[in-house]
Amino acid sequence: MDLEKTPEHELVTRCLSAGVTIAVAESCSGGLIAHRITNVPGASDVFRGGAVAYANEVKTQLLGVPTDTLAVHGAVSEPVALAMARGARRVFKGEYSVAVTGIAGPSGGTAEKPVGTVYIAVAGPLEARARLCCFEGDRAAVKAQTADAALAFLLERVEAV
């Protein structure tokens, strides 16, 4: 694949031209989003850092996700994704951040939240927004689709600058 046509390349290019920095907080994607961003030459000028906050304790201790939010809504929820995005923005001091939390499978799904359920949130200087995505496939496919969607959502928000 031509790197210049990837969402991560477009994202880094847009961030460079807009003069903004970005950060990530990942759960179900396991660092794939940060990996893809840092594959792009020039990413060091815009990418502040990221966290793989897989355990709930890391979500609370590092990113500041309230324990009551986790208890009421569960780790795979819009409020947790929004809190993770806000936390990553604060911790890494990026103008924008993206966070993902979901169920990559093959186990862990429920009737309410089946495997492939992923919440993606982007926090910026003025607001934070979240999306619910429902992906299909095996664990690797869910992770790849999560990274694609997260990069696209972050790019969309940065392009609004």
Mean pLDDT (the chain) is 96
Q: Residue 134 sits in a domain of what CATH number?
A: 3.90.950.20
Residues 6+ apart with CB under 8 A from 37: 8, 11, 12, 22, 24, 43, 47, 151
β-pairing, 47-52 vs 22-26, is parallel
pLDDT band at 60 (very low <50, low <70, confident <90, very high): very high
Share of the chain above pLDDT 90, in %: 95
109 token code pair: 């799904």
Q: Residue 151 is part of which domain span? A: 3-159
Question: Which whole number is the average pLDDT over 56-77?
Answer: 98
* Packed helices 139-159 and 7-18: angle between N→C axes, nearest 10 degrees: 30
Question: Count of domains in the chain?
Answer: 1
Q: In what order do the strands lie in the sheet with 117-123?
A: 47-52, 22-26, 96-102, 117-123, 128-134
Whole-number Å distance between alpha carbons of 53 and 60: 9
Residue 2: the pLDDT is 59
Is the separation of the CB atoms in 158 and 20 below 8 Å? yes
